Amino acid sequence: MTDLQSMIRSLLRPEVLALSAYHVPDSSGYVKLDAMENPYSWPDDMVDEWLARLREARPNRYPDPSCGRLKARLREAYGVPEAAGLLMGNGSDEIIQIILMALKGRDATVLAPEPTFVMYRQIASSLGLEFIGVPLRGEDFALDMPAMRAMIETHRPAVIFLAYPNNPTGNLFDSEDIAEILRIAPGLVVVDEAYTAYAGRSFMPRLAEFDNLLVMRTLSKLGLAGLRLGFMAGAKAWIDEFDKIRLPYNINTLTQISTEFALEKRKVLESQVESILRDRQHLYEELARLPGVHVYRSDANFILFRLLRHDADHVFRKLKDAGILIKNLHSSGGRLAGCLRVTVGTPEENQRFLTALAETLAS
């Protein structure tokens, strides 16, 4: 055992040894409102059509390595400019990893406002890259532009990640602030539009304006989380380089066929988004009525709220005991002290959550 431990320590990079694995709680049996999934599956007739389409799959053959057909559909569905290149990922997590793996040297710095999506820091750390987190403004989680300018100037980051809208805070940063960051950044700026379906704002149409802009998207939050498909659009010269380190066949055949199918049927997904947006408004209003709860406005499919008078760990546990799983951000400390995040579920799920929360706060 000791020999094994010393072998592990002698062979692996210290930054890997120092990491904790990304923890995903067991959610079986819970009302699952922790992971920003679309709560709706597909209607039965659409599932039948999908399964019929999957008959095209040839499991004995490798998938199309270039995802040719899928790329064409994505371009059309998301208005990717003709001149831009597209990189496909096994979720956008993989795209973040590909970008960071390609950076030159150990002294490359990665910067993002924080709190934000934890994988930017996690992947940078796993690769031994320096990560600079610039605190968002305390009261409204907007970009702190004087701090951003100063940190960009000092650290000259190779890559800046901006989640638009941001996770876990749910807000859209000011688009003029992002444009300024694009102008002053010495390196790449990745605008991560994971939640764009719920925000209706995008930097995709501005790709031609900035040759250091990469726009990253995922289909996870739109209802395809189980298929794992992310993509990134940007100047072809960048995408061609990143594509060299993408593993061949990273998008499997079932995902390619299923995503093409889902894009053909995207009216169904769009009507689910409309329901989620209506329910987000309702959930926001109901949360705002609860005593001792501060709710943050959201442009995504989840809502961040802060408990002003209750212990957030206790409330999180009580909700779990009641069969409802949300995300405890209080435990990550700092600016998120007292904060919990709930994904917008079906109306029934939202109601179960609200009832359990109101009971816990009253007890």
Long-range contacts of 57-61 (CB under 8 A, 24+ apart): 57/253, 57/254, 57/257, 58/253, 59/253, 61/253
Binding letters toward ligand PMP, positions 35-74, x by CB under 6 A: -x--------------------------------------
DSSP 76: H
Least distance in angstroms from the C-beta of 31 to ligand PMP: 19
The β-bridge partners of 131 are 110
Whole-number Å distance between alpha carbons of 289 and 361: 12
Site for ligand PMP in 296-335 (CB under 6 A): none
Q: Which is closer to ligand PMP, CB of 88 or CB of 354?
A: 88
297 within 8 A of 170, measured Cβ to Cβ: yes
The β-bridge partners of 110 are 131, 159
Question: Any residues with CB less than 8 A from the CB of 133 and at least 6 apart, and which?
Answer: 111, 112, 113, 114, 116, 121
Dihedral through CA 10, CA 16, CA 20, CA 23, nearest 10?
-120
Q: Does 92 bind ligand PMP (CB under 6 A)?
A: yes
274: enclosing H helix or E strand: helix 266-289
Q: Please say whether the dihedral angle defined by the alpha carbons of residues 307, 311, 316 and 322, taken in this order, is positive or negative.
A: negative
Q: Which is closer to ligand PMP, CB of 38 or CB of 167?
A: 167
Q: Which is closer to ligand PMP, CB of 228 or CB of 318?
A: 228
How many residues in the shown chain lie near ligand PMP by CB under 6 A?
Answer: 13
Dihedral through CA 134, CA 137, CA 141, CA 146, nearest 10?
-60
Least distance in angstroms from the C-beta of 120 to ligand PMP: 8
Binding ligand PMP by CB under 6 A: which of 74, 80, 87, 93? 93
Least distance in angstroms from the C-beta of 1 to ligand PMP: 35
Least distance in angstroms from the C-beta of 248 to ligand PMP: 20
Q: Does 349 bind ligand PMP (CB under 6 A)?
A: no
Q: Does 192 bind ligand PMP (CB under 6 A)?
A: yes
Site for ligand PMP in 132-161 (CB under 6 A): none
Give the interface segment with ligand PMP, choosing from 4-12, 89-97, 133-141, 253-261 (CB under 6 A).
89-97
Site for ligand PMP in 103-122 (CB under 6 A): 117
Site for ligand PMP in 157-176 (CB under 6 A): 163, 167
| Distance, C-alpha 347 to centroid of its chain | 23
Q: Which is closer to ligand PMP, CB of 116 or CB of 360?
A: 116
Q: Does 220 bind ligand PMP (CB under 6 A)?
A: yes
DSSP 66: T
Give the interface segment with ligand PMP, choosing from 173-181, 206-214, 217-225, 233-241 (CB under 6 A).
217-225
Number of neighbours of residue 359 by Cβ within 10 angstroms: 12
Give the footprint of ligand PMP on this chain (CB under 6 A): 36, 91-93, 117, 163, 167, 192, 194, 218, 220, 225, 230
